[in-house]
Amino acid sequence: MLRLSFILNIRPSSRQIIYSSRFTHSIYPLTIREVYDKKPLNQSINLIGYLLNVRKLKTHYFLDLFDGSLTNNQKHLQVVASLNNHPDLPHLIYGCSINVQGKLVRSNHPKQEFELQAETISLINSCDASNYPLKPKSEQTLLMLRKDEHLRLRSPLAQVVFRLRSQLMFSLYEYFYKHNFVQIQTPCLTRNDCEGGGETFRIQPYKSQTTQVEKEYFNDQVYLTVSGQLHLETAANGFGRAYTLNPAFRADKNLSRFHLAEFWMLEVEVAGFTKLDQLLNAYIDLLRTIAIDIYSKCSEEFKYLSKNNIQSTHINRFLQQNDCPRISYEEAVKYLRNSVDFHNFPDNGDFTRAHENYLCETIMNNQAFFIINYPKNLKPFYMSINDDDATVANFDFIFPSIGELSGGSLREHRFENLKLSLDEFDLTHDLQWYLDLRRFGGMPTGGFGLGIERFLMAITGIDNVRDVILFPRYYQHCDG
Distances (CA, A) of 318 to 252, 257, 258, 403: 29, 22, 20, 14
Distance CA 229, CA 97 (A): 45
Q: What pLDDT is attached to residue 263?
A: 97
Distance CA 396, CA 404 (A): 6
CB of 412 within 8 A of CB of 385? yes
Q: Which residues contact 386 (CB under 8 A, 6 or more apart)?
A: 373, 392, 393
CB of 401 within 8 A of CB of 314? yes
Q: What pLDDT is attached to residue 56?
A: 87
Q: What pLDDT is attached to residue 388?
A: 96
Q: SS3 of 442, please?
A: coil
Residue in 445, 463, 446 with CA at minimum distance from that of residue 454: 463
Top-level CATH class of 153-204+218-467? alpha beta
Distance CA 302, CA 296 (A): 10
- CB-count exposure of residue 177 (10 Å: 0-12, 13-18, 19+): exposed
Distance CA 105, CA 41 (A): 5
Listed as ranges, residues in the chain with pLDDT below 70 are 1-15, 18-25, 72-74, 194-198
The arrangement of secondary structure in 32-136, i.e. its CATH architecture, is Beta Barrel (2.40)
Q: What pLDDT is attached to residue 197?
A: 60
Residue/partner pairs of 420-428 with CB below 8 Å, 24 or more apart:
421/381, 421/382, 422/381, 424/381, 425/196, 425/381, 427/381
CB of 385 within 8 A of CB of 416? no
Rounded to the nearest 10°, the torsion over CA 117, 120, 124, 130 is: 60
Q: What pLDDT is attached to residue 285?
A: 97
Q: What pLDDT is attached to residue 35?
A: 93
Distance CA 160, CA 153 (A): 9
Asked whether the domain spanning 153-204+218-467 has the same topology as the one spanning 32-136, the reply is no
Q: SS3 of 160, please?
A: helix
Instruction: Give residue-wise pLDDT tens across range 44-56.
Output: 999 999 999 999 8
Domain residue spans in the chain? 32-136, 153-204+218-467
Instruction: Give residue-wise pLDDT tens across range 223-282.
Output: 999 999 999 999 999 999 999 999 999 999 999 999 999 999 999 999 999 999 999 999
CB of 258 within 8 A of CB of 454? yes
* Angle 200-422-446 from CA coordinates, rounded to 5°: 80
Distance CA 378, CA 301 (A): 41
Q: Are strands 445-451 and 262-271 parallel, antiparallel or unpaired?
A: antiparallel
Q: What pLDDT is attached to residue 20?
A: 61
* Angle 143-149-152 from CA coordinates, rounded to 5°: 75
